[in-house]
Chains A and B, each alone.
Chain A
């Protein structure tokens, strides 16, 4: 029994870390209406700055104060002014995309400056690292300085926030500003100032979490913060993202349960490796399915929404027809020229990059389908690609199935995974769907991919390339394999294009904009939702299989969960509503990474990390313009160019309306 209590007590500080982040998530959601996927990234940035200040000789307490009281709130002002204040209260999709943008972009920016693994853990801002040992029952209980600081901070933050949010002076305007800023302004309150204050408070909490967590592990890495973030989401979900005390209870309980399970399960067992880290995701999954408060997250109506500018309509219909005409007229010419250049002049490394680009393009087309058309922000598309890659590798390597047939089987298995995901998604809408897909990606990452009979173990599997018509596809820079990849891309593009412009696209877009209106018109929302999840996952599976063949290898970490949001943000930036948007994003992703290999080593000391971070940064920073350009910033530039070149203004009346032109 005393062993049990020892496990419980030892893990309370760990639970407090979850609780603190969960409180930050709940506060941000209640005070700004934004589910802040970027919270972990903000905390990571704060942790790195704190560590850098400390290692450059600043006193640890002063460094912590500087980060939490000065830098973090200033960053909050920047976030509010530059991003979130520009999003209309009712546009929850833009809020999610923008916060996902922060989640993806901020770590990249930090890593460009300090590298991914170069920052050592600093000491805690208060107390000596190893405090006197306390004796509880028969065993000793160690409490480190960082643990004690975290527990104290959680308690203080909880009390202050609960009192503050209940107060008429601070709490009431903050909550009102989320529901309806316009209505608040009619009461004589400056809603912008209230919202800015909320963001300052929210980023201060992120800063505090960052400073408190930085001492726990060396190096200070973005991944550790992400893990805490997703565990904290489960804790926050316990109170339906609204209750601070429940978020704290959830956080502490989660840490304790995880610790107790960890204590009793043998550390060399599969359960230890798989179950312990997955526990928060299971809990989140169950809460999403059974907690009525989580299902109703999106049911929020601003009584003054009529006086806000209307949310921009889906962009597809507003595209100047000239772009499509140009594409239609020159597509074969462009394709022929590209093919000719590829088979004649292109050097080896670029052939390999183009091959990877083709596989990314296929994966990104799955996002065009599910996000651009059906309006579901899925964070699991990379996981589905991983399922396709793993199935292909297993069948081809262990069952001797021809690799192209294995790839088709991989697509079907991934599609079935998507179909299974659609079943709970039928009951949800908006943010809960995003959280659900995040959960599924994390479960795949922790439970499915690490198993040797799926992901192929730590080293993965060597994936063969096809042998057809006596052609050799095996060289890394094989031109025939590139042409084969391009042919697959062309076929998938054709399917997606036909669906976009056909009955499916029209019906999906109707369901996305008004499910109730679509149902009244006889459209089967259920069937379409299941179909779009199945097909998009299957397409991602094909892309994953191509990716594995391109690298001649499949490894469990190829499609870890963080690629889900990264891919989504990249596609949304370039343009999620058109087929060519996905293709541009796919090739852009691969070719920019290839181009960055030519960076002189003086620019980047930690070459790989910097290249990866820069590639993501270049392609995803446009997500911040999602509120004004839901069609994607590259697509917006294309439209603007088309209007200039073809004098195709004034666009159609809907666009004039959304731009405020009378």
Chain B
């Protein structure tokens, strides 16, 4: 029962087509895991199952040995945060607003009664905490700018800040380097590693960019056709013949 996350024999299918098949793994607090596989391997579906966006058909997902609530917002408040492959920002809101929304939701301070009592104002402690997180991801100087006007790399950083402000124990990062150039990817890797070091959050990372996976993940799981085909260190997995034939054939 020492594990942070236990995924046990999880399966998920759509209309009879099995997308995730009997997947099991565990993740310890503060650890990081890379999920790799070709398109359609079931990585994102597994991700969405862990985040609570999709119900699983069978198996179990436990956090700290306890079953998780079914809705994604309740899971987020229990400590599972996520970022998205296609960035999901709140158009029209500033960078700071994004972080405030998440902070207030996690602290249970979101609601009409609080607004009526406080006149809708934000407390200085809330603001300070948000600014600290923004500083961590390198956005402190752009807190008042509408988030959708930033570059893709910065927008991904906004998502990261929004995910981290609730002090999650597990961060699910869905293809964080997708669409970024080499320099932006390197900055993002630096931010992710800094975040891991300073907050101790465990990370599950899905990415097609093996450089990012290698730089962030302690262990790697390779998936193919919904099933786990290899697990271990980055070097072990990428040298696995089954992995090479299923996905890495040409690129390795």
Choose the segment among B15-23, B143-151, B209-217 that binds chain A (4+ C-beta atoms closer than 8 Å): B143-151
Q: Are A498 and B148 in contact (CB under 8 A)?
A: no
One digit per residue, 1 when the CB lies within 8 angstroms of any chain A CB and 0 when it does not, for chain B 205-239 equals 00000000000000000000000000000000000
Q: Are A520 and B166 in contact (CB under 8 A)?
A: no
How long is the Cα–Cα vector from A315 to B91 in the complex, in angstroms? 10
Number of contacting residues on B, CB 8 A? 46
Chain A min CB distance to B143 (Å)? 14
How long is the Cα–Cα vector from A506 to B104 in the complex, in angstroms? 10
How long is the Cα–Cα vector from A499 to B114 in the complex, in angstroms? 9
In the complex, which residues of chain B have a beta carbon less than 8 angstroms from the beta carbon of A500? 120
Q: Kindly list the 10 A-B residue pairs having the minimum CB-CB distance in the complex, ordered from nearest.
A: A502-B120, A502-B115, A517-B88, A313-B92, A522-B105, A521-B102, A313-B91, A314-B92, A522-B76, A317-B92
One digit per residue, 1 when the CB lies within 8 angstroms of any chain A CB and 0 when it does not, for chain B 78-97 equals 00011110001111111001
Q: Are A313 and B148 in contact (CB under 8 A)?
A: yes
A189 at the interface (CB under 8 A from B): no
In the complex, which residues of chain B have a beta carbon less than 8 angstroms from the beta carbon of A502? 114-115, 118-121
Q: Are A519 and B73 in contact (CB under 8 A)?
A: yes
Name the one of A310, A504, A509 contacting B111, with C-beta atoms under 8 angstroms. A504
Name the one of B84, B119, B145 contacting A520, with C-beta atoms under 8 angstroms. B84
Q: Are B120 and A510 in contact (CB under 8 A)?
A: no
Q: A498-B120, A654-B146 are in contact. Are A509 and B71 (CB under 8 A)?
A: no
How long is the Cα–Cα vector from A509 to B98 in the complex, in angstroms? 11
Residue contacts A-B, CB under 8 angstroms, 25 given: A313-B91, A315-B92, A317-B97, A498-B115, A498-B116, A498-B119, A499-B120, A500-B120, A502-B114, A502-B119, A503-B100, A504-B115, A506-B97, A507-B104, A510-B98, A513-B92, A514-B90, A517-B84, A518-B73, A520-B82, A520-B84, A521-B76, A521-B162, A523-B110, A657-B149
Q: Are B146 and A652 in contact (CB under 8 A)?
A: yes
In the complex, which residues of chain A have a beta carbon less than 8 angstroms from the beta carbon of B148? 310, 313, 654
Chain B min CB distance to A311 (Å)? 7
A274 at the interface (CB under 8 A from B): no
In the complex, which residues of chain A have a beta carbon less than 8 angstroms from the beta carbon of B98? 510, 521
How long is the Cα–Cα vector from A523 to B71 in the complex, in angstroms? 11
Identify the A interface with B (CB < 8 A): 310-311, 313-318, 495, 497-507, 509-510, 513-514, 516-526, 531, 535, 652-654, 657
B77 at the interface (CB under 8 A from A): yes
How long is the Cα–Cα vector from A105 to B98 in the complex, in angstroms? 39
Chain B min CB distance to A523 (Å)? 5
Chain A min CB distance to B161 (Å)? 10
In the complex, which residues of chain B have a beta carbon less than 8 angstroms from the beta carbon of A522? 73, 76-77, 102, 105-106, 166
Most buried by B among A499, A503, A504, A535: A503
How long is the Cα–Cα vector from A388 to B45 in the complex, in angstroms? 46
A-B contact count (CB 8 A): 147
B153 at the interface (CB under 8 A from A): no
Q: Are A313 and B146 in contact (CB under 8 A)?
A: yes
Most buried by B among A310, A311, A502, A653: A502
In the complex, which residues of chain B have a beta carbon less than 8 angstroms from the beta carbon of A497? 120
Q: A313-B92, A513-B91 are in contact. Are A521 and B105 (CB under 8 A)?
A: yes
In the complex, which residues of chain A have a beta carbon less than 8 angstroms from the beta carbon of B101? 503, 506-507, 510, 518, 521, 523
Name the one of A313, A318, A507 contacting B105, with C-beta atoms under 8 angstroms. A507
In the complex, which residues of chain B have a beta carbon less than 8 angstroms from the beta carbon of A653? 145-146, 149
In the complex, which residues of chain B have a beta carbon less than 8 angstroms from the beta carbon of A524? 71, 73-74, 105, 110
Q: Are B163 and A504 in contact (CB under 8 A)?
A: no
Q: A317-B146, A520-B72, A654-B149 are in contact. Are A514 and B163 (CB under 8 A)?
A: no
Q: Are B92 and A518 in contact (CB under 8 A)?
A: no
User: From A525, which residue of chain B is reached at the shortest CB distance?
Assistant: B73
User: From A315, which residue of chain B is reached at the shortest CB distance?
Assistant: B92
In the complex, which residues of chain A have a beta carbon less than 8 angstroms from the beta carbon of B56? none
Q: Are B92 and A520 in contact (CB under 8 A)?
A: no
Chain A min CB distance to B101 (Å)? 5
Q: Are B91 and A314 in contact (CB under 8 A)?
A: yes
Q: Are A505 and B71 in contact (CB under 8 A)?
A: no
How long is the Cα–Cα vector from A535 to B53 in the complex, in angstroms? 28
Chain A min CB distance to B185 (Å)? 20
Q: Are A510 and B90 in contact (CB under 8 A)?
A: yes
How long is the Cα–Cα vector from A226 to B160 in the complex, in angstroms? 49
B112 at the interface (CB under 8 A from A): yes
In the complex, which residues of chain A have a beta carbon less than 8 angstroms from the beta carbon of B110? 503-504, 507, 523-524
Q: A317-B94, A502-B120, A504-B110 are in contact. Are A520 and B104 (CB under 8 A)?
A: no
In the complex, which residues of chain B have a beta carbon less than 8 angstroms from the beta carbon of A523? 73, 101-102, 105, 110
